[in-house]
Structure 1
């Protein structure tokens, strides 16, 4: 218990462009930040390939994790005045907020698609395994790492604590929307953060919002909607993700086919074999992946060589709008790509994006979405969309977008007399 109350002799601060200052007074938090597992997040970009679209988007998951911690710290300062808040949960919340992203790999989601890894699994493994983070957390108690893991995994018994880190309006989303808007240089991701955390209240099993703060919540939800379609699903960013994914697929396929690499991907072999350990995983960062992409431009395999050149030099695929109803067109395109000497498995890709900015819990769905509730003047709770016409208009409205990506330059480089070239230009309207 003594360790739990240990403070640093003086407060540490991080200068931050979003929150101005991030304050650390707890020795435990300071020691967690200093672990090698947490420092690795400096080498993982928050927005993956978005830097190829928005050149300012070079920020890391390290900064985001500090930001989520800071918002949670401010929320706790508000909650401490409320009878529903248990002060014993303070350090648990702060640790879960700080560590919620430690399991992310390089180019997180693209990476996971290829190697079937799960950042949530590795987050738990890093918290519960033989790591520096685990050793620091165990200074509180032997079961403290398990509690932190349960909060992040949404299985902790106190759902109020879970909702602070993971819900439809949580510290994680609030930080990444503002941070990503700042670094991409857009204004529509902004909302009044201070107003939001000042009107948030602890109530039984979740965070709720004072009725007077409804407009701040509306602003937040619309910011989220805009950021997803203008930033996260930007077609140029998705083009870069398509190429990155295909590079990893190609390298994995070549490895399993016994290809003799000039630059052997030693650090990726356990991934290719599907036997990656936490120790292996912690050695992976974006600098390593980009090193391989750089040197693989010299490999004999023309597909791997070309895709790496494209990614490293931003020679991205073009795209057209595409719907699942266009399957006959897709089949015809695949056949024509083969005739043109272009492997459609790597050079003709359908990519889909979908998002629902706000939704209610619907029985039978895999992911439970806890609604946002407003506290009315009479202390009763009302679900947000019943009070807000703005939110009601988008509740449950899932938007899906499909695009077909292809290498325009490779098609245009085909001989002018090529029948395949003429047909591709006709099919793709180029």
Structure 2
């Protein structure tokens, strides 16, 4: 356990555009940052395909992970000497904050949808497996990696630690909102971070907010709401995600059908076969995926080559608003696309996005969320939406948006299927 208390000879700092400086004094944290698995996060963008919409969104999960660590470190500084805070949990909390995203794959959530992977499961596997991260964590104690993995998996006995990293107001969300707003250049995601962490308090098994800080939390929740609909669910970003997913689906389908690739997808084959080992998974990053997209433009399969050209050169699909009640129109469009020689499985895609900006506690419901509690002047706790008119107005209200994506250029250039072209244009209107 002596390693857990080891300090660097002098504090290391990372210059950061969001937090100004990120401070590292513990040797364990410094060594974790230097591991191959953590350095891999430099090669995975935080916002996936969003850089094709907001050109500044090139920041990585590496910088975000450092930011979550720094916010957590500052919250712990506020918690010190509080009777509900166990100082012996400090290092565990910092490690979990730093490593919470280490299992993300390239293009993160789009990648997961195609291959049915789970970044949290891979995060736990990296922490517990034969990795540099595991070897560093074991220097603390043999069971320390398991404790970190339990925090990630939300099964650790001390629920307060979990809530600091994963809840409706946590270090993860606070960093990505501010960081993503900074790099996309929008004004929606800003809120008073320092005010929030200064009014956070440990209470039993959760983080609560002093009543005096309620307005800062309202600002945070509205910032989150705006960021989801103005940035994260931006229709152009979603168009790029649609094409990215279809490329991976097409490559997987071609592989299973015995297609002879001019440029074989060697590093992706274990994924296609659903037999990927941990060491194979951590070799994947966005440079690998983008390499295949670049060379597959020369493949003989017209769908794969076209989709790769579209993604690489940002020739994205257009979209129209769509509602599930228009299913018959969608079915008619599929038939018209087939008549025009366009495969609707790849060129006619319904994409849906939904978000619940804040929810109160409803026991037993799927995906239930623990609410944000306010610490009142009389030391009692009250759920946020019961005190805030702003939060009450959006509490429990899920918003869903559906769009239909299609290649407008292909339809415009149709010359040999005029009747199908006219039908498609009519249906899209």
TM-score range normalised by the length of the shorter chain? over 0.9
Whole-angstrom CA distance in 1 between matches of 2:315 and 2:143? 50
Whole-angstrom CA distance in 1 between matches of 2:201 and 2:170? 12
Whole-angstrom CA distance in 1 between matches of 2:215 and 2:68? 22
- Partner of residue 106, structure 2: 106
Whole-angstrom CA distance in 1 between matches of 2:317 and 2:278? 34
- Partner of residue 407, structure 2: 407
Whole-angstrom CA distance in 1 between matches of 2:267 and 2:391? 47
Whole-angstrom CA distance in 1 between matches of 2:378 and 2:352? 45
Q: How many residues align?
A: 429
- Indicate the RMSD between aligned Cα atoms, in angstroms: 0.7
- Partner of residue 361, structure 1: 361
Whole-angstrom CA distance in 2 between matches of 1:366 and 1:88? 33
Matched, 1:220 2:220: yes
Aligned 8 A contact 2:360 2:383 in 1: no
Whole-angstrom CA distance in 1 between matches of 2:33 and 2:363? 40
- Partner of residue 22, structure 1: 22
Whole-angstrom CA distance in 2 between matches of 1:2 and 1:302? 61
Whole-angstrom CA distance in 2 between matches of 1:52 and 1:46? 13
- Partner of residue 321, structure 1: 321
Whole-angstrom CA distance in 2 between matches of 1:55 and 1:409? 23
Note the 1:283-322 alignment, pairs <5 A: 283-322=283-322
Note the 1:22-101 alignment, pairs <5 A: 22-101=22-101
Matched, 1:339 2:314: no
Whole-angstrom CA distance in 1 between matches of 2:204 and 2:180? 32
Whole-angstrom CA distance in 2 between matches of 1:361 and 1:324? 29
Distance 1:417 1:113, change over 3 A: closer
- Partner of residue 163, structure 2: 163
Shift of 1:364: 3.0
- The runs of at least 4 consecutive aligned structure 1 residues that moved more than 6 Å come to none
Q: What are the Cα deviations for residues 79-102 of structure 1, in whole angstroms up to 9, with x where unaligned?
A: 003111100000000000000000
Whole-angstrom CA distance in 2 between matches of 1:358 and 1:422? 44
- Partner of residue 193, structure 2: 193
Q: TM-score, normalised by structure 2?
A: 0.99
Shift of 1:362: 1.8
Whole-angstrom CA distance in 1 between matches of 2:58 and 2:417? 44
Whole-angstrom CA distance in 2 between matches of 1:374 and 1:116? 38
Whole-angstrom CA distance in 2 between matches of 1:278 and 1:241? 25
Whole-angstrom CA distance in 1 between matches of 2:135 and 2:331? 55
Partner secondary structure for residue 10 of structure 1: strand
Shift of 1:322: 0.3
Note the 1:115-134 alignment, pairs <5 A: 115-134=115-134
More deviation, 55-64/366-375: 366-375
Shift of 1:416: 7.3
Aligned 8 A contact 2:373 2:383 in 1: yes
- Structure 1 unaligned spans of 5+: none
Aligned 8 A contact 2:189 2:226 in 1: yes
Matched, 1:203 2:189: no
Partner secondary structure for residue 155 of structure 2: coil
Shift of 1:417: 6.5
Partner secondary structure for residue 261 of structure 2: coil
Whole-angstrom CA distance in 2 between matches of 1:60 and 1:417? 45
Q: What are the Cα deviations for residues 93-137 of structure 1, in whole angstroms up to 9, with x where unaligned?
A: 000000000000000111111111111111011000110000000
Q: TM-score, normalised by structure 1?
A: 0.99
Partner secondary structure for residue 393 of structure 1: helix
Aligned 8 A contact 2:339 2:417 in 1: no
